[in-house]
Amino acid sequence: MEFYRALAQRNPDAFQPALAMSLNNLGTRLSELGRREEALAATQEAVVLRRALAQRNPDAFQPDLAGCLNNLGTRLSELGRREEALAATQEAVEFYRALAQRNPDAFQPDLAMSLNNLGTRLSELGRREEALAATQEAVVLRRALAQRNPDAFQPDLAMSLNNLGVRLSELGRREEALAATQEAVELYRALAQRNPDAFQPDLAGCLNNLGAMLSGLGRREEALAATQEAVVLRRALAQRNPDAFQPDLARCLNNLGTRLSELGRREEALAATQEAFDLIWPLFKRFPPALRNNTAIMIRNLQQNHEALQRPLHPELEGRIEEFRRLAGIN
């Protein structure tokens, strides 16, 4: 990237596009390593460069700007800046929709991707009906693409089906949510068998969601089994790359605690939830806005488990709860 930066200083017209591309890629790599603030800074710089390029030559650079805005939405969301994340993603969708109208074969995959992300951004802000509509549109597009080219587009279809399950569940449509999530698990399991490194993280996330769907329908033993499998996968991923996967492992362990509690296995539930909280706590202190809600849920679950076992909170935990309230701005 520094090589391109030096070249762009000497010859902006020739090398600014390459510098923007490398900054966009750098943002993705930093995000994968859990370095969220740096990832955002790189992506923001890429957007500034690509916006200027697209103003001078829209036909050549609008697709690149749209992709960069889509990534910017993700980077902002990772830091809890949800309104800004939504605005960036909406702008990406507008660009991709116009591009797909002119050239469907080239840009429908990108439109589907940005709609999938738009559904997530809307859901984060509680706009659930709009979130469902965006995700359903993404599924329709990706199912058609996967029918024409399964190897290229089945992973994208699996992702959107997983998100569709979450969106339907948020609206209380539990049977439909379960069906969408089960289809996603089947697709991801087949993909992970062929390429574990690429698809085990997705399979783990989908199994975690499947556990929640089954629990919502009272199928508690099945829910526990799905969540346990998700924890096994995420624990292995977090051992290899803690910065990237520890937050996911913590959320999954918290869900495992909930599944165990539903079955009356309180001691095991407390152990799982305590491990989840211990993992999320140092991350919350680094990124309070992004992890506030997850941390609050874990604290509530810990308190409930202690009450169920008629066990007082440890002084260290009480201290962390007070610190959480201070950092989260809760009186």
Domains of the chain, start order: 1-148 (1.25.40.10)
- 102-157 tens-digit pLDDT: 999 999 999 999 999 999 999 999 999 999 999 999 999 999 999 999 999 999 99
- 182-194 tens-digit pLDDT: 999 999 999 999 9
- 158-167 tens-digit pLDDT: 999 999 999 9
Residue 236 has pLDDT above 70, yes or no: yes
Task: Tell me the pLDDT of the chain averaged across its residues.
Answer: 95
Which whole number is the average pLDDT over 218-243? 96
Question: What's the confidence (pLDDT) of residue 331?
Answer: 67
Return contacts of 244-249, CB within 8 angstroms, 24+ apart.
244/32, 244/33, 244/34, 245/201, 246/34, 246/279, 246/280, 246/283, 247/34, 247/279, 247/280, 247/283, 247/291, 247/294, 248/201, 248/204, 248/205, 249/276, 249/279
Residue 39 has pLDDT above 90, yes or no: yes
Question: What's the confidence (pLDDT) of residue 32?
Answer: 87
Q: pTM value?
A: 0.83
Question: What's the confidence (pLDDT) of residue 329?
Answer: 84
